[in-house]
Amino acid sequence: MSFRITGLDPRPYVSLYGLDEASLKTHGVIRVMATDDTGYPERVELRAAHRGESLLLLNHTHQPADTPYRSSHAVFIREGATTPYDGYDEVPDVMRVRTLSLRGFDRHHHIASAVVVDGGAAAEAIERLFAMSAVSYIQAHYAAYGCYAARVDRA
């Protein structure tokens, strides 16, 4: 079964790029400088930020449906990111190296099934979830911190 993983649309965040700290604070955003090449998973390009890159730490509503599952969490957006990741039948490195919680939602935006997997086994787990007719789409989260990682759709 073919699947598609997409990063966040950067357009809602572009106006925040380059703002001073006081202006960011009025939006509930914190600027963070990556201190290493692995600990800052960026959500637009779906890659690990590189040491010295500037990231915006902000709250993103990843499940906007008006259901009990409505949810948001903190995510990193790289300042300057303009092109979202869009990949077919492959799991980006930033997700493959982490433990993931894959949450399969139905057409009513309720959880139909969920699994926790090593990122290296994510492709197979995605295929198993999509084999269930009730699963319309999947949200991937980084299991340790619970942060939203990416959306997965049937391709």
Residue 61 token pair: 């509503």
Q: In the predicted model, is pLDDT for residue 1 greater than 90?
A: no
Residues 6+ apart with CB under 8 A from 121: none
* Dist. CA 72–CA 92, nearest whole Å: 22
Longest Cα–Cα distance of the chain, Å, equals 48
Could you count the other beta carbons within 10 Å of the beta carbon of residue 63? 16
Residue 129's H or E segment, with its range, is helix 122-130
- The dihedral built from the CA positions of residue 121, 150, 154 and 111, taken in this order, carries a sign that is positive
Which residue type is seen at 39?
A: G
Element (H, E) at 21: helix 21-26
Report the percent of the chain where pLDDT is more than 90: 99
Read off the pLDDT of each residue in 84-108 and give the average, rounded to a whole number: 98
| Single pTM value for the model | 0.95
39: three-class secondary structure by DSSP: coil
Q: What confidence tens digit (pLDDT) does each residue in 5-41 have?
A: 999 999 999 999 999 999 999 999 999 999 999 999 9
Q: Percent helix, strand and coil across the chain, each rounded to 5?
A: 15, 40, 45
Give the mean model confidence (pLDDT) for residues 40-56.
Answer: 98
**Are the C-beta atoms of residues 25 and 50 closer than 8 Å to each other?**
no
Above 90 in pLDDT, residue 137? yes
Closest by Cα among 7, 2, 1, 91 to 42: 7
